[in-house]
Chains A and B, each alone.
Chain A
Amino acid sequence: MNHDAYPDNYIRGILNSVKSIAMVGASPVNVRPSYFAFKYLAQRGYDMIPVNPGHVGKELLGKPFVASLSDIDRPVDMIDIFRNSSHIMPVVEEALTLDPLPKVIWMQLGARDDAAALKAESVGIKVVMNRCPKIEYGRLSSEISWMGVNSRTLSSKRPPAPTQGMRLSLNRMSVGGGETAASDRAAKNKTEQS
């Protein structure tokens, strides 16, 4: 997989198929990005599981925190990692011990570990790095266009009236395979420098 630019169909396929998402590093602090990504994905109907050893015994929006991936009592389709790049590898290694294996490992905006990605991909797990599932869901459904963001999708179909908490169609026509050439190039240059 080329991790500098993902085709929209790749991201769309993931968000259309996964049902349960374990969020590693989910924060109960309501101004942290992990909190609002968690809340948004829960409202869109995903079965969300907050993973954070510092908050075991508490709940996030009604979902009990677990200490680690191995403490989850049901199969997990996707692991969404809200940790810095330097903390990715141990999480991926733990994910690879799960049975059944997760289908997707997703690393948040700013997070990228190519070695960890390779490890996961070698056992058939799909990997996304340096993206936010909330932003991608909002972009592909065009919901994010309410903030002037370039969704890079077009549609002549009448969409359903948006209401809070409903699943939105992600199946709009993509513009140029989901790449925003200039910004992807910049992200790649940044990664290569560091």
Chain B
Amino acid sequence: MSDRLPGFSTLAVHAGAQPDPTTGARATPIYQTTSFVFNDADHAASLFGLQAFGNIYTRIGNPTNAVLEERVAALEGGTAALAVASGHAAQVVVLQQLLQPGDEFIAARKLYGGSINQFTHAFKSFGWNVVWADPDDIASFERAVTPRTKAIFIESIANPAGSITDIEAISTVARKAGVPLIVDNTLASPYLIRPIDHGADIVVHSLTKFLGGHGNSLGGIIVDAGTFDWSTGGKYPMLSEPRPEYHGIRLQETFGNFAFAIACRVLGLRDLGPALSPFNAFMILTGIETLPLRMQKHCDNAKAVAEFLAGHPAVAAVNYAGLASDKYNQLARKYAPKGAGAVFTFSLKGGYDAGVSLVSKLQLFSHLANVGDTRSLVIHPASTTHSQLDDAAKVKSGAGPDVVRLSIGIEDKEDLIADLEQALGA
């Protein structure tokens, strides 16, 4: 019962999990059930009224998913978390708690192409208006603030080029504007960067990537830092006002510093429905146990591959913040000293055609639309993940026509370099 701080690797294995009370099972069981039996009518009423801790229905919560939630909350240094079906689902659920139709949120221009799409089209149809800002120009965030701004959204390590965002500088803008800072920490994982330590109020992940890490299960998660005061000014009525569907309880008043995570669960997940399968939660939990080992290997391999590419005559430029010459290297040293991640881009002197040729000749790298797998991956963003953007937006987001994106796996780095060498040279 000592009060000592376990290290990151201990939390990655243990946080949230305990032997199963009924069977003694040591691995977290997969509670593959839709529903949970109540003790009696009073117990049922207490659970539905948010008066008791417990399970009702897997769309609202599940014991396997709860282990995953607590583990990621612990790794990120948050007060609570909510697992959902995908990273995209996490974003919808978060913004549903914060925005009313006609409201605005500010988003960094450098984002995963799917997020740019979701914000531009789907969210616009909800009346949630995205205002873009440039993460390399902090003042552009300040200029974008209006009385209708309800949140700021950035990626810690930004897709596709692996650029590093100055989280602290943008958190200062958010605090001044009185809005929460949401950080998508997918490409860093908490092993490399813990955004809450730098001023984030909410962290979201696609668990599909490095946290799950094996390219086998979709998932998303929302982490509540417990840092934002939702009660002031009536700006966030979902949290500060009485909820009619819960007999008038106020979530902030009732749940204190994890009220946001509860709102996401009992208003967002309950009503929108993107629940995570307990089986996926189990797969992702198993992945997280080795996150520190994998992430270090991903980063070490990525640096070796980036250095190889930077010295290759067919390569025009490499964008990897782990290279001393990179424009984001200073930020990488500050925010991600253990490594600058494993997703980055490079461009070929031969342009678009050379990129297509490279992809077709690679033997170990898989051509597919994912990142953060044990396997090394390659894609041409301009024709795939970022294809729905216009040409100017492609360049602005770092996905110009000559750009190739790599996600470096945990194979032997010599084999990855040899594969690239044969594909570039022949």
Interface residues of A (CB under 8 A from B): 7-9, 12, 30-31, 33, 35-36, 39-40, 109-110, 132, 135, 138, 142-152, 154-164, 171-178, 180-183, 185-187, 190
Contacts and interface: CB of A to CB of B under 8 A. Distances in A.
18 contacts: A7-B3, A33-B254, A36-B46, A40-B51, A109-B256, A142-B18, A148-B261, A150-B70, A150-B74, A150-B258, A152-B74, A159-B21, A173-B1, A175-B11, A176-B3, A182-B226, A182-B227, A186-B226
A161 B39 CA distance: 13
Nearest to B196: A182
Contacts of B83: 148
Given A33-B249, A146-B53, A149-B80, 13 more contacts: A31-B247, A36-B51, A142-B18, A145-B66, A145-B70, A149-B73, A154-B10, A157-B18, A158-B21, A175-B11, A176-B4, A181-B77, A182-B227
B61 to A, nearest CB: 6
Contacts of A152: 74
B270 interface: no
A171 B43 CA distance: 26
Interface residues of B, number: 62
A180 B257 contact: yes
B80 A161 contact: no
Contacts of A31: 49, 246-249
Nearest to A35: B51
Contact of B2 (A135, A144, A162, A173): A173
B21 A162 contact: yes
Interface of B: 1-6, 10-11, 14-16, 18-22, 24, 39, 43, 46, 49, 51-55, 61, 63, 65-67, 69-70, 73-74, 77-83, 196-197, 225-229, 246-249, 253-258, 261-262, 265
B21 A160 contact: yes
A146 B43 contact: no
A159 B18 contact: yes
Given A161-B22, A183-B226, A174 B51 contact: no
Nearest to A173: B1
Most buried by A among B43, B46, B67, B83: B46
Given A39-B46, A183-B79, A158 B6 contact: no
A70 B239 CA distance: 37
Given A7-B3, A110-B253, A150 B81 contact: yes
A12 B1 CA distance: 10
Contact of B226 (A146, A160, A180): A180
Nearest to B39: A164
A177 B77 contact: no
Given A31-B249, A36-B46, A147-B262, A154 B19 contact: no
Contacts of B14: 154, 156
A145 B63 CA distance: 9
Nearest to B25: A158
A7 B24 CA distance: 30
Contact of A174 (B1, B15, B65, B247): B1
